[in-house]
């Protein structure tokens, strides 16, 4: 049969997928937990009360697991109001007044979760990972504020940041939906002319809301944190807009001139293909882009509980240190920004 006449769907036999012995015992233990992600039974798109109840329940579960994050943090946490949003400014202990580096962190959560105090906790975790000050916006989210409001909030905060710091001091990063929003915000910044950041960090990002990527099917059921049940949240966020809009699905954007980027994912990540495709898209545009794929890792890795996660954090730290250093060397004058307010 001609390959062009092949059926559109490949039927494969049902089978059991063992926990691989190719990863650490800690990673095996996480994989053995099975599904840890949100229920596939999400509310209908027009059920505002149902979505708010889902967000409250899901955020409460996550909060119970990570609330000790703030207790163990050494440093300062300040709050600023930027437009309708709170910006958390997290400064790790030991950061000098002369260190103007900022990691602009965009929290994930399927576009609906992770706001409020969870946004603050995520910023604290990121500050410990990058060893620098973190700015994180508690951007508005569905069901009350679908696209484009979250991107509007982020670009407004980014404009404030570039007024106070040089672009060579700024790295933008996000995980999952946060990586999508980070990419969309960078596209907006490129289109609207604020200076682009020194680099970008995408951790298990979702860059194509049209659901075209291969791993959305092949990894469904083996990623123990994310399943196809989360797709309805993507449509809630899109709010009826064209899913191929580059600010919704950055994979369809013109990424020419994008800053150096690292993409991190795993072989069991439901969004593996989104990261592979985005990496190729960036490389085709001549962007300095790295793709790191961890064996058997699901969405976001192994919950921070395995040596493989430490390796992921080390790659992140290496990347940000490299590009902060490189961008500052290439800047016309770092001192030119020294008189700006902090």
Question: Which pair of tokens denotes residue 227?
Answer: 């399943």
Per-residue pLDDT reduced to its tens digit, 63-117: 887 888 888 899 999 999 999 999 999 999 999 888 999 999 999 999 999 999 9
Percent of the chain with pLDDT over 70: 93
In this predicted structure, what is the pLDDT of residue 71?
85
Peptide bond before 125: cis, by omega within 30 degrees of 0?
Answer: no
Please state the rounded mean pLDDT for residues 250-277.
98
Q: Which of 36-40, 109-113, 181-185, 196-200 has the lowest mean pLDDT?
A: 36-40
Q: Where are the beta strands (DSSP E) in the chain?
A: 75-82, 85-92, 102-106, 133-137, 170-175, 199-203, 261-266, 289-294
> Which pTM does this prediction carry?
0.93
The per-residue pLDDT for 7 is 60
Tell me what the mean pLDDT of segment 26-49 comes to: 88
What does each C-alpha distance from 211 to 7, 131, 234, 308 come to in angstroms?
19, 35, 10, 28
pLDDT at 6: 60
Q: Specify the pLDDT at position 231.
A: 86
What residue segments make up the domains of the chain, in order of their start?
A: 41-331
Taking residue 310's Cβ as centre, other Cβ atoms within 10 Å add up to: 14
pLDDT of residue 40: 63
Q: Is the pLDDT of residue 334 over 50?
A: no
Structure tokens at 36: 């840890």
d(CA 221, CA 228) in angstroms, rounded, equals: 8
Active-site positions read: 176, 269, 299
Q: How far apart are CA 332 and CA 320, in angstroms?
A: 20
| CB distance 224 to 36 below 8 Å | yes
Per-residue pLDDT reduced to its tens digit, 278-330 = 999 999 999 999 999 999 999 999 999 999 999 999 999 999 999 998 877 77
Going by C-alpha positions, the residue among 77, 201, 207, 63 that lies closest to residue 136 is 77
As a whole number of angstroms, the distance between CA 122 and CA 100 comes to 21
CATH architecture type of domain 41-331: 3-Layer(aba) Sandwich (3.40)
- pLDDT at residue number 12: 87
């Amino acid at each position: 049969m001609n390959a062009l006449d092949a059926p559109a769907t490949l039927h494969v036999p049902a089978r059991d997928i063992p926990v691989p012995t190719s990863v650490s015992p800690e990673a095996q233990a996480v994989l053995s937990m099975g599904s840890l992600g949100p229920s596939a039974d999400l509310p209908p798109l027009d059920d505002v009360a149902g979505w708010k109840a889902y967000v409250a329940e899901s955020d409460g579960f996550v909060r119970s697991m990570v609330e000790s994050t703030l207790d163990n943090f050494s440093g300062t946490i300040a709050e600023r109001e930027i437009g309708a949003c709170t910006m958390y400014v997290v400064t790790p202990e030991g950061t000098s007044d002369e260190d103007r580096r900022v990691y602009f962190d965009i929290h994930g959560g399927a576009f609906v979760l992770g706001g409020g105090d969870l946004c603050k906790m995520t910023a604290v975790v990121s500050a410990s990972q990058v060893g620098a000050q973190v700015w994180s916006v508690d951007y508005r989210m569905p069901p009350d504020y679908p696209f484009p409001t979250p991107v509007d909030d982020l670009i407004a905060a980014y404009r404030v940041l570039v007024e106070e710091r040089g672009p060579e001091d700024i790295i933008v990063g996000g995980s999952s939906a946060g990586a999508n929003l980070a990419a969309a915000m960078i596209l907006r910044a490129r289109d609207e002319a604020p200076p682009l950041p020194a680099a970008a960090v995408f951790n298990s990002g979702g860059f194509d809301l049209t659901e075209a990527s291969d791993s959305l099917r092949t990894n469904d059921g083996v990623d123990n944190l994310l399943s196809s049940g989360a797709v309805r949240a993507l449509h809630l966020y899109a709010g009826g807009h064209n899913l191929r809009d580059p600010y919704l699905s950055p994979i369809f954007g013109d990424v020419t001139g994008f800053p150096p980027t690292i993409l991190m994912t795993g072989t069991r990540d439901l969004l593996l293909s989104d990261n592979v495709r985005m990496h190729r898209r960036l490389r085709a545009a001549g962007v300095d882009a790295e793709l790191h794929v961890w064996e058997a890792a699901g969405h976001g890795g192994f919950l921070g509980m395995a040596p493989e996660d430490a390796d992921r954090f080390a790659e992140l730290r290496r990347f940000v240190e490299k590009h902060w250093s490189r961008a500052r060397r290439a800047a016309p004058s770092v001192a030119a920004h020294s008189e700006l307010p902090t």
